[in-house]
Amino acid sequence: KNQVEQSPQSLIILEGKNCTLQCNYTVSPFSNLRWYKQDTGRGPVSLTIMTFSENTKSNGRYTATLDADTKQSSLHITASQLSDSASYICVVTLMNTGFQKLVFGTGTRLLVSP
Partner 1 sequence: ETGVTQTPRHLVMGMTNKKSLKCEQHLGHNAMYWYKQSAKKPLELMFVYSLEERVENNSVPSRFSPECPNSSHLFLHLHTLQPEDSALYLCASSQDRTGGFRTDTQYFGPGTRLTVL
**DSSP-assigned letters across all residues of 50-109:** EETT--EEEETTEEEEEETTTTEEEEEE-S--GGG-EEEEEEEEEP-SSS-EEEE---EE
53 Ramachandran zone, left/alpha/beta (phi>0; psi -120 to 50) = alpha
Q: What kind and span of H or E run contains 42?
A: none
21 vs 105, which CB is nearer to partner 1? Answer: 105
Residue from 49, 68, 72, 74 in contact with partner 1 (CB under 8 A)? 49
Q: Does residue 111 bind partner 1 (CB under 8 A)?
A: no
Give the residue among 23, 44, 50 at the shortest CA–CA distance from 105: 23
Residue from 30, 34, 57, 80 in contact with partner 1 (CB under 8 A)? 34
Q: Does residue 97 bind partner 1 (CB under 8 A)?
A: yes
Q: Does residue 60 bind partner 1 (CB under 8 A)?
A: no
Q: Does residue 4 bind partner 1 (CB under 8 A)?
A: yes
Residue from 8, 95, 111, 113 in contact with partner 1 (CB under 8 A)? 95
Contacts with partner 1, residue ranges (CB under 8 A): 4, 31-32, 34, 41-46, 49, 51, 89, 93, 95-107
